[in-house]
Amino acid sequence: MANVFVTRRIPGDAVERLAAEHHVEVWHGRLQPSHAKLLEKAGGVEGLLCLLTDRIDRDVIETCTRLRVISNYAVGVDNVDVEAATERGIPVGFTPDVLTEATADATFGLLLACARRVVEGNQVVRAGRWLTWEPTLLLGQDVHAKTLGIVGLGRIGQAVARRGEGFGMEVIHTSRSSGISLDELLERSDFVSLHAPLTQESRGMIAGPELRRMKPTAILINTSRGGLVDSGALTRALERGWIAGAALDVTDPEPVPRGHPLLDAPNLILNPHIASASVEARAAMSNLAVDNLLAGLAGEPMPKCFNAEALAARL
């Protein structure tokens, strides 16, 4: 029986399955443990189930000498120093696939809400400013027959593409193996949806020059990682009318602190990183994260391992 630390309560009953085989401690705070507290709690454990808001850096990996397995409750692993984990032979699990459709639904929901000014309409009614029906009240944009540009045609990007095709949109995309250049996509698209992973190369890929390439009627959607977009440049683009609007489920920084200029940008919808927040998707993520942890602790291949070579190196 191994000692396991879970950095937050997660939906479903997966942790109960984990606790049936190992000694489990769950952090019950509403916010994640501080870095110091994480080091303290993980210092004597063999297994760690963490969230994307937990910084699992080299310090954590080298300080927690008994740690054998990391399971990240997220579709990506940019919060984990995978190189440091691999050096120690620690497999890192993650939870792709199971949140694909939920995230694609949320992406298209943001696209529609921004195009048809749904949030503004709600605010008008609640503020008592809806006095009579007017032909020009809150005019938005059609979505059907427009061009949807997808940056990163992975699982989620493909799912969003299917939804766009269902709306009769022309779908264009960038990807590593096919597609068009980012510059061409930005120039042609009425809606740009970001689905690229966050890497050193992709950080800030949408900045001032890229936003200036977009149509003044275009809308930017980001449900991937906040670091893909230069927040300062996006604020200026919305203030100066370089683009018509944006809808973000993720931001940089995240969460957005009070007083940040992005909060005052016009024609912007902001969500608190909830694109995968359906009951079904989050429960599936919990099950996969626990399955990864159980397999890793048993010395078996994880169902979804980001660095499978780590286990091979340990054997």
CA atoms within 13 A on the CB side of 151: 28
Q: Which comes out higher in pLDDT, residue 100 or 311?
A: 100
Residue 302: burial class (beta carbons within 10 Å; 0-12, 13-18, 19+) = buried
**What is the set of active-site residues?**
225, 254, 273
How far apart are the C-alpha atoms of 64 and 207, rounded to whole Å? 38
Say which amino acid occupies 20. Answer: A
- pLDDT above 80: residue 311: no
* 31-88 confidence digits (pLDDT tens): 899 999 999 999 999 999 999 999 999 999 999 999 999 999 999 899 999 999 999 9
Percent of the chain with pLDDT over 70: 98
Taking only the tens place, the pLDDT of each residue in 268-297 is: 999 999 999 999 999 999 999 999 999 999
Q: Which long-range contacts (CB under 8 A, 24 or more apart) does 298-303 make?
A: 302/71, 302/91, 302/93, 303/93
pLDDT in tens, 120-174: 999 999 999 998 999 999 999 999 999 999 999 999 999 999 999 999 999 999 9
Read off the pLDDT of residues 210-246 as tens digits, 9 standing for 90 and up: 999 999 999 999 999 999 999 999 999 999 999 999 9
CA dist 167 and 210 (Å) reads: 26
Give burial (CB, 10 Å; 0-12/13-18/19+) of 303. Answer: middle
DSSP state of 46: S
Residue at token pair 């001032």:
208
Task: Report the pLDDT value the prediction gives residue 313, as an integer from 0 to 100.
Answer: 59
Could you give all domains of the chain from N- to C-terminal order, each with its CATH number? 3-98+279-314 (3.40.50.720), 100-270 (3.40.50.720)
pLDDT at residue 310 in the model:
81
pLDDT digits (tens, 9 = 90+) for 186-203: 999 999 999 999 999 999
Cβ neighbourhood burial of 26 (10 Å; 0-12, 13-18, 19+): middle
Which amino acid is residue 251, in one-letter code? T
Inform me whether the pLDDT recorded for 264 exceeds 80.
yes
Question: 25 in helix, strand or coil?
Answer: strand
Q: Is the peptide bond before 253 cis (omega within 30 degrees of 0)?
A: yes
For residue 283, CA distances in Å to 73, 157, 220, 245, 308 come to 11, 22, 29, 33, 24
Mean pLDDT, range 110-121, rounded to an integer: 97
Q: How many CB atoms lie under 10 A from the CB of residue 279? A: 10
Instruction: Name the token pair of 193.
Output: 């949806």
CA distances from 10 to 5, 17, 255, 290 (A): 13, 13, 19, 10
For residue 38, report the phi and psi dihedrals to the nearest 5 degrees. Answer: -60, -45
